Amino acid sequence: MKKITVIVLLALVAACGVFAQETPTVMQKPGPEHMKLAGFVGNWTTAGEVVESPLGSAENWSGTIRSEWFAGGFAVIRHVDEKGSITADFHALDVITYDASAKTYTWYNVDNQGWSGLLKGTFSGDVFTIDWDAQAKGKTYKLRGTAKWVGADTLTYVSEYSEDGTIWKPLSRSTDIRVISK
């Protein structure tokens, strides 16, 4: 009986030694591309206007945007709440992150008016440009938006649309101002 107990104990000790030598899981850390998204984080007021286009009527809006890091620091989550002069209450959820395998930023959006989409983006200095397609009246349009930081707490945004991807027309413009808590 002692031999069996000693053998079992030795087997357990050997197994523990093997498991103890395994490399611990290394947690990934956000890279410099992810850190570029820090400029979106915070609480913002937003106001802007859309011009008449094949995509819809002209209108003005204002509202708030609450942006925060998602757990782990790889993505920014944005909660958008706006009131438009025509569309009334507008709510959206955005998830913005960097896709290392595609070497591009992705911006996923879903809103309370039934739209959802995946936008692709790039940074060039303090300018973030996103591109996506939208449908209106049975036709597909190319859209692009350009967000530019004016200092640390102001973000201007301009969007344009195109029927062919070469001739671009204005669609909207807005200004977001970070709310500084005191």
Per-residue pLDDT reduced to its tens digit, 103-143: 999 999 999 999 999 999 999 999 999 999 999 989 999 99
Asked if residue 94 lies in contact with residue 100, where contact means CB atoms within 8 angstroms, the answer is: no
Would residue 105 count as lying in a domain?
yes
Q: What is the pLDDT of residues 21-78, one digit of tens each?
A: 555 577 789 999 999 999 999 999 999 999 999 999 999 999 999 999 999 999 999 9
Residue 74 one-letter amino acid: F
Dist. CA 96–CA 4, nearest whole Å: 59
Report yes or no on whether pTM surpasses 0.85: no
- Domain of 41 in residue numbering reads as 32-178
With b meaning 16 or more CB within 10 Å and e meaning fewer, what string describes 119-153?
bebeeeeeebbbebebeeeeeebbbbbbbebeeee
- Looking at the chain, the number of H-run helices and the number of E-run strands are 2, 10
Work out the pLDDT band at 13, boundaries 50, 70, 90.
very low
122 domain-assigned: yes
- pLDDT class for 88, splitting at 50, 70, 90? confident
Has residue 18 been placed in a domain? Answer: no
Confidence check: pLDDT of 7 > 70: no
Query: b/e per residue, 16-51, with b = 16+ CB within 10 A?
Result: eeeeeeeeeeeeeebeebbeebebbebebebebebe
Lookup result for tokens 């062919």: 164
Burial grade of 56 (CB within 10 A; 0-12, 13-18, 19 or more): middle
Instruction: Give yes or no for a contact between 61 and 85, defined as CB atoms under 8 angstroms apart.
Output: yes
The number of folded domains in the chain is 1
CATH number at residue 154: 2.40.128.20
pLDDT for the residue 2: 53
**Residues 143, 125: Cα–Cα separation, whole Å:** 21
Q: What is the mean pLDDT of residues 100-104?
A: 93
> Are 93 and 109 spatial neighbours (Cβ–Cβ below 8 Å)?
yes
The pLDDT of residue 11 is: 46
3-class SS shares of the chain: helix, strand, coil, % to 5: 15, 55, 30
Tell whether 121 is covered by a domain.
yes
Query: Is residue 60 one of the residues assigned to a domain?
Result: yes
Q: Has residue 129 been placed in a domain?
A: yes
| Domain-embedded: residue 19 | no
Candidate from 3-7, 9-13, 61-65, 87-91 with smallest mean pLDDT: 9-13
Asked if residue 11 belongs to a domain, the reply is no
